[in-house]
Structure 1
Amino acid sequence: MSTLNGFTTDSSRALPLYVLDHNGFAAWNAQQPAALQAWLKSQQFNAAPGSVALLPGTDGLAGAVLGVGDRADAYSYAHAPFALPAGSVWKVAGELDVASASNLQLGWGLGSYRFARYRKPARAPAQLLASPSSEVADVITACLRVRDWVNTPTEDMGPQQLEDAARALVNAHGGELEVIAGDELLEQNFPTIHAVGRASHRAPRLIALRWGKADAPHLALVGKGVCFDTGGLDLKPADGMRNMKKDMGGAAHALALAGLVMAQELPVRLTLLVAAVENAVGPDAFRPGEVITTRKGITVEIDNTDAEGRLVLCDALAYASEQQPEAIIDFATLTGAARIALGPDLPALFANDDTLAQQWLDAGDATRDPVWRMPLWRPYLRYLNSGIADMANAGSRMAGSVTAALYLERFIEAGQTWAHLDVYAWNDSERAGRPAGGEALALRSAWAMLKTRYGR
């Protein structure tokens, strides 16, 4: 698991780092010696977002200028750790306001990340002379956990390993863990989780973590933990299957957010539910055309075995809803349709409660960790009609993310507050502070929303 890299408290080698935006550069530059002005001019440096200029001294480096854009966006600073020399140490020159200093530290921590489980990184990040607050450190840790868990190949990140991750949270923060696995899922009425995972040699399971005081507001977090998705008998093509180790990205978000809630002692009673399976191909794989009676008693005809995420979630959501929490929030790498509509960076938010949705939208704007609200357009339930069951798990290609969310909503009790985030959990390409691979999206804004909602 990644540690909090990129920070030091050793000031002996620290060099000054000037953090400037384009608008503030001219005034700062005018106060510098003529030789330094000429040096920066020769590089055509103007503190554009994402830029760095190293400042020469008589014995080597004398400092650096970090060009940033939106100071409220942690990623404005995230290029620094690998744009500055490896292992160098930097102290911010001048004063930053509290919010900018926190965003700098957050961006530095995110930008220092490299997945190192199987290969040593080519170089070390530059170090920032700083001691992040417990909240900033816990937020960074949560984001890096998502990256690590999603990046880890399935042989090392199966249902058991998701259970281990939940157990580690309980060991660190207290609480209780219950795991219902294998055929016990049938005995305790979780038939869709069992159906999707039964063909794998690794037993499917429902992981239930409970934490907090009994009289606190009850928050339920639910995660889709499909540790690998072949598509089942409706087999994915090779390019569609290539990165399906990331199909547990929803579970990674839910686990990481639960860890953040526990570490920061948010005043809630937390229930975390992760439906952990591998959608495999084998003699016992569930088949197109089968009808499954779900935990809620709704019969579902299997139109497509590659629409498995909503199947494992529906039993978990029904179980969460039975407990009548104040709010249910689920995270899932659910549909390609959401990515076609919004691209990789904007998770699709569906919610049956306007207040919760607006709180998350506002938190996304404040943290620059956005979500985009999509409609629960209930007339599209017709696309899930079945000729022999209460509904089908898939159907038309029309409005694919909407119909997936509508499917999930059927398993929420009337009047229950619920939000669903359809998240990509992945960076397709390398960007400053965002290495290719697993990514935490809307996790920081989810935390900010929960703080607002629960009075922190």
Structure 2
Amino acid sequence: MTNALHPIFAADAKAAAKAIPIWFVHKSNAASLTRQLDAAGRAFLDASGFEPSPGRCALVPAKDGKLAAVLFGIEQPDARTKNLFLPGTLANLLPDGAYRFANAPHDARLAALAIALGGYNFTRYRKTKARAIKLIAPDGVDAKELSAIIDGVTLARDLVNTPANDLGPAELETAARKVARAHGAKLRVTAGRALEKQFPLIHIVGMGSPRAPRLIDFTWGKPSHPKVTLVGKGVCFDTGGLDIKPSSAMLNMKKDLGGAATALALAHMIMARKLPVRLRVLVPAVENSISGISFRPRDVFTSRKGITVEIGNTDAEGRLILADALSLADEEKPDLMIDFATLTGAARVALGPDIPPFFTDDDRLAASLMIAATAESDPLWRLPLWRPYEAMLDTKVADINNAGAGGFAGSITAALFLAKFVEQAKAWVHFDIFAWTPASKPGRPEGGECQAARAIYALLCERYEQ
């Protein structure tokens, strides 16, 4: 893990009393809060011109020159919109030390989480000065649970940020083994001739690379518990294949394993919480490379499910490997099946980098996801599985084409392609994530990001801990 901020931790009353207070201020409470400072502190605020507007920060010195208090501006309680992750800005503003919340922000749990996640740095190749910031868990906040969420998000960010020369299918398998081993999950891997026979679409996408493709599969929990299955797209690098991407589009393709990273992060949260579910995680891990044996446009292959697929575009490889993995997952009729994939640029055009779309036919599940996404400040938005667009996937030589014709509704047609391979799951939801933050935001540094996992984790806790 490379989180520069110490995980949120619990402390006794003595430690809390010594910690530096953080006051969350807005126009309504600014006067009453500043009266609690001594005369020197109030004079410092006046001289510095501090205003209690959202995102403004003041480090108030004590008479001995040490830090006496921190004031941080947040929105008014009755503001129409509030950024519950805004306190994450503090991660890069606070000097080393131990801190506590002296009053409540809009959401103490999310404020603490945002500060911790904002302290993330990817230090594998470039060392930075270690920070020594600690935050005492606010009253009523479970420090152990927050630490597990922080560890999961950090894992996903680390995997997405690692360049492909150091993270191929074999290394992704190693990462999955580490997660499974930490929680006593049972893991198996299908590769080589067995993969070619049992999961032909995973095989053909990865066969052009010298780094062998594989399907990673682990299970955890009691078989009698509700079956929850996570499927994550694990394309460790995507050249686009013979339909090669331009250099600008290929630049960030180390993040094309973002779906796998998200699935592993969520799996860690679930297992650390010991949710009463029977969890299964499937990660098809490949590199979509170019060689004399790469799959070609207009090739036709038979999937694990028996559906024949014509290759309309070798750069639409993610849905191919997911198709075989979803077919396997669907065979055991899970209660809930969730897949994550950095699948389409069309999703980014529609909703931008911060809001992943999701697709499901289950209206109740969709409504619950939207509630959880808002509550967890983990934004999501539902797009339709619009069945009339299935005609865009028609082909005269196979059952289905892997790329929609006409260039419209790319995210929807990709979801409709995947839906062809899901029949028996009681509920299924597909997430078309970006897994990347282009410019730093509070609690979300630039680089790899774990999207949707926290919202789904909250939904699963609500659903299965009753």
Deviation beyond 4 Å, 4+ runs, structure 1: 7-13, 30-35, 70-74
1:53 aligns with 2:58: yes
2:153 pairs with one of 143, 146, 153: 143
Counterpart residue number, 2:167: 157
Q: Distance in 2 between matches of 1:15 and 1:151?
A: 33
Q: Distance in 2 between matches of 1:281 and 1:379?
A: 34
Counterpart residue number, 2:109: 102
1:265-414 aligned within 5 A? 265-394=274-403, 395-413=405-423
Counterpart residue number, 1:428: 438
Q: Distance in 2 between matches of 1:288 and 1:393?
A: 10
Which piece of structure 1 moves more, 406-415 or 263-272? 406-415
Counterpart residue number, 1:41: 46
- Does the aligned pair in 2 maintain the 1:275–1:312 contact within 8 Å? yes
Q: Residue type matched to 1:417 in 2?
A: A
Counterpart residue number, 1:17: 22
Shift of 1:44: 3.0
- Does the aligned pair in 1 maintain the 2:436–2:449 contact within 8 Å? yes
Q: Residue type matched to 1:5 in 2?
A: L
Shift of 1:35: 4.7
Per-residue deviation, residues 29-80 of structure 1 (Å, max 9, x unmatched) = 3554555334323333223222210112221132221223489865222111
Q: Distance in 2 between matches of 1:210 and 1:193?
A: 20
Counterpart residue number, 2:185: 175
- Does the aligned pair in 1 maintain the 2:41–2:62 contact within 8 Å? no
- Does the aligned pair in 2 maintain the 1:232–1:305 contact within 8 Å? yes
1:210 aligns with 2:216: no
Q: Runs of 5+ in structure 1 lacking a partner?
A: none
- Does the aligned pair in 2 maintain the 1:112–1:125 contact within 8 Å? no
Q: Distance in 2 between matches of 1:227 and 1:100?
A: 36
Q: Distance in 2 between matches of 1:228 and 1:24?
A: 51
Shift of 1:101: 3.3
Shift of 1:168: 1.1
Aligned residues: 452
Q: Helix, strand or coil: the match of 1:155?
A: coil
Q: Distance in 1 between matches of 2:132 and 2:29?
A: 27
Q: Distance in 1 between matches of 2:255 and 2:91?
A: 26
Shift of 1:397: 1.0
1:263 pairs with one of 269, 272, 275: 272
1:114 pairs with one of 102, 121, 124: 121
Q: Distance in 2 between matches of 1:283 and 1:191?
A: 18
Per-residue deviation, residues 379-409 of structure 1 (Å, max 9, x unmatched) = 0011111121111000321000000000000
Q: Distance in 2 between matches of 1:174 and 1:70?
A: 46
Q: Distance in 2 between matches of 1:361 and 1:376?
A: 17
Q: Helix, strand or coil: the match of 2:107?
A: helix
Counterpart residue number, 1:239: 248
1:448 aligns with 2:458: yes
Q: Helix, strand or coil: the match of 2:209?
A: coil
Counterpart residue number, 1:80: 90
Q: Residue type matched to 1:168 in 2?
A: K
Shift of 1:11: 6.3
- Does the aligned pair in 1 maintain the 2:333–2:424 contact within 8 Å? no
Q: Distance in 1 between matches of 2:282 and 2:183?
A: 17
| Identity in percent | 47
1:28 pairs with one of 29, 33, 42: 33
Counterpart residue number, 1:225: 234
Counterpart residue number, 1:65: 71
1:418 pairs with one of 404, 428, 436: 428
Q: Residue type matched to 2:30 in 1?
A: F
Shift of 1:265: 0.6
Shift of 1:122: 4.6
Q: Helix, strand or coil: the match of 1:78?
A: helix
Please give the TM-score of this superposition, normalised by the length of structure 2. Answer: 0.92
- Does the aligned pair in 2 maintain the 1:4–1:137 contact within 8 Å? no
- Does the aligned pair in 2 maintain the 1:4–1:141 contact within 8 Å? no
Q: Runs of 5+ in structure 2 lacking a partner?
A: none
- Does the aligned pair in 1 maintain the 2:358–2:430 contact within 8 Å? yes
Counterpart residue number, 1:6: 6
Counterpart residue number, 1:439: 449
Q: Distance in 1 between matches of 2:64 and 2:32?
A: 27
Shift of 1:452: 1.8
- Does the aligned pair in 2 maintain the 1:82–1:126 contact within 8 Å? no
Which piece of structure 1 moves more, 123-132 or 197-206? 123-132
Per-residue deviation, residues 128-184 of structure 1 (Å, max 9, x unmatched) = 244952211111111111111100111222111221122112211112101001232
Please give the TM-score of this superposition, normalised by the length of structure 1. Answer: 0.94
Q: Residue type matched to 2:68 in 1?
A: A
Change (3 A) 1:156 1:69: farther
Q: Distance in 1 between matches of 2:320 and 2:344?
A: 13
Q: Distance in 2 between matches of 1:32 and 1:164?
A: 53
Q: Residue type matched to 1:207 in 2?
A: I
